[in-house]
Chain A
């Protein structure tokens, strides 16, 4: 027996990136913008989306794709707030959404009647960072109940993001979270990050979030 070596040199993420490019092209064709919402579990993604859909679901023609390891609880919760489509992806244990899953989810969304798709990724600060879904922007939710050093512990997630939404600000009087330090750590990892501070419970800062969403679809709105 002789051993023969075959050179390959193929990127492992190549197929996902091709699928993500396909998603991006499909969305662009319909003038739809997708945002990839990522965070650790329990940072307030679903509550933020509940408030968002109640106010802007109809005006901005928002569709939501939720990703969870098990259950479609989030999709059910959100569906109670909007007549707009909420599509659940159950990953069956996988720790992230990939471009194929989003591409399949798009098959169930009327892109002609949608302007903004918000993808609620699986709650996880590690794995989703590696998978391009075809989104326009990545938004990380960072709750004041977490440690300020999350960006230092999970740098890849913050490196690849565009926006950070500091959530649950109504709890600031009750927790030792130092907002200034958290922002500083974020910028240390990625100086391009932009910030919004909100409390979905009290409504504080929600207008800034709504303006961000309106702004996200503006460049394409007239097309």
Chain B
């Protein structure tokens, strides 16, 4: 069940990138290659668990399945407050 280790590492990488914006993150995009040796549904389950704890406020994992053995954090979606002028 190494998907939990991977989910924790994905959370760490994302926190490193987002800093204080982590609480406003809504989507964590992850690529899980077909030959990566990772079970996507298990990883999704573990990611949901990791993202349900502070500083996360329930961001959702979005897993895509390209070919090859890639396993990477591809993108993060963050909700920004609109400026009063918008």
Q: Hey, which bits of chain A sit against chain B, CB under 8 A?
A: 1-13, 15-16, 94-96, 98, 126-127, 129-131, 156
**Complex contact A8–B17 (CB within 8 A):** yes
- What is the size, in residues, of chain B's interface with A at 8 Å between Cβ atoms? 30
Interchain CB contact (< 8 A) of A94 among B5, B74, B82: B5
Residues 20-50 (chain B) with a chain A CB within 8 angstroms:
26-27, 29-30, 37-38
CA distance A10 to B79 in the complex (A): 21
**Complex contact B77–A9 (CB within 8 A):** no
**Complex contact A7–B2 (CB within 8 A):** no
Ordered nearest first, which 10 A-B pairs have the shortest CB separation?
A: A127-B2, A156-B37, A6-B76, A12-B71, A8-B73, A1-B79, A10-B73, A11-B72, A4-B78, A3-B77
- Please indicate the chain B residues that have their CB under 8 angstroms from the CB of A96 in the complex: 2, 5
**Complex contact A11–B71 (CB within 8 A):** yes
- Please indicate the chain A residues that have their CB under 8 angstroms from the CB of B72 in the complex: 8-12
| Closest beta carbon of chain A to B22's beta carbon, Å | 11
Q: Hey, which bits of chain B sit against chain A, CB under 8 A?
A: 1-2, 5-6, 9-10, 12-14, 17-18, 26-27, 29-30, 37-38, 70-82
**Complex contact A7–B75 (CB within 8 A):** yes
CA distance A8 to B10 in the complex (A): 11
With A11-B72, A12-B13 already in contact, 14 other A-B pairs whose C-beta atoms are closer than 8 Å: A1-B82, A2-B82, A3-B27, A6-B78, A8-B17, A8-B75, A10-B72, A11-B70, A12-B30, A13-B9, A13-B71, A15-B13, A126-B2, A126-B37
| Closest beta carbon of chain A to B13's beta carbon, Å | 5
- Please indicate the chain B residues that have their CB under 8 angstroms from the CB of A98 in the complex: 5
- Please indicate the chain B residues that have their CB under 8 angstroms from the CB of A131 in the complex: 2
| Closest beta carbon of chain B to A38's beta carbon, Å | 13
Please name 21 pairs of A and B residues whose Cβ atoms are closer than 8 Å in the assembled complex, sorted by A.
A2-B79, A4-B77, A4-B78, A5-B76, A5-B77, A6-B75, A8-B13, A8-B17, A8-B29, A8-B73, A8-B76, A9-B72, A9-B75, A12-B6, A13-B9, A15-B12, A94-B2, A95-B2, A127-B1, A130-B38, A156-B37
CA distance A5 to B76 in the complex (A): 6
A2 in contact with B80 given A8-B13, A10-B13, A12-B13 (CB within 8 Å): yes
| Closest beta carbon of chain A to B77's beta carbon, Å | 5
**Complex contact A130–B37 (CB within 8 A):** yes
CA distance A185 to B34 in the complex (A): 22
**Complex contact A95–B77 (CB within 8 A):** no
